[in-house]
Amino acid sequence: MLKLNEFSVLLSDNGKRYFEILKWHTSQIGICEVDDIELAMLANEYDLYFSNMEFCQKNGYSFVTGSNNGYSQIRPEFTVMKNAYQNILKHSPKFGMNPADRAKFFSNFGESKKPKTFDI
């Protein structure tokens, strides 16, 4: 089993926190430990998204260049944030990050493994 400390050089402090949150979530729905590497990559995307979003919220999503005509340009941080978001959307379903994705996991297990409901 891979441990978080094996990812220490790959993840920032926030990335480690996201990894732990994602790891707890995926353990609740039965995701295998072999997926920890990809889960660490997803945690890194969350970190990239939120850190760049915070930067853009503080400094704006665009800036005016210093040239003579001075035109508005999108910040590189916004592009990083947008790409990280696309990666999150692309890879989150693999780990059941929303109710529809979790329903797919449970539908594959058959009746015996589905969550219990109350009979009326």
* Domain boundaries, given as residue ranges, for the chain: 9-108
Contact 95, 39 (CB under 8 A): yes
**pLDDT at site 36:** 83
Tens digits of residue pLDDT in 90-113: 988 888 787 777 777 666 655 455
The predicted structure's pLDDT at residue 120: 46
User: What predicted TM-score, i.e. pTM, was given to this entire model?
Assistant: 0.74
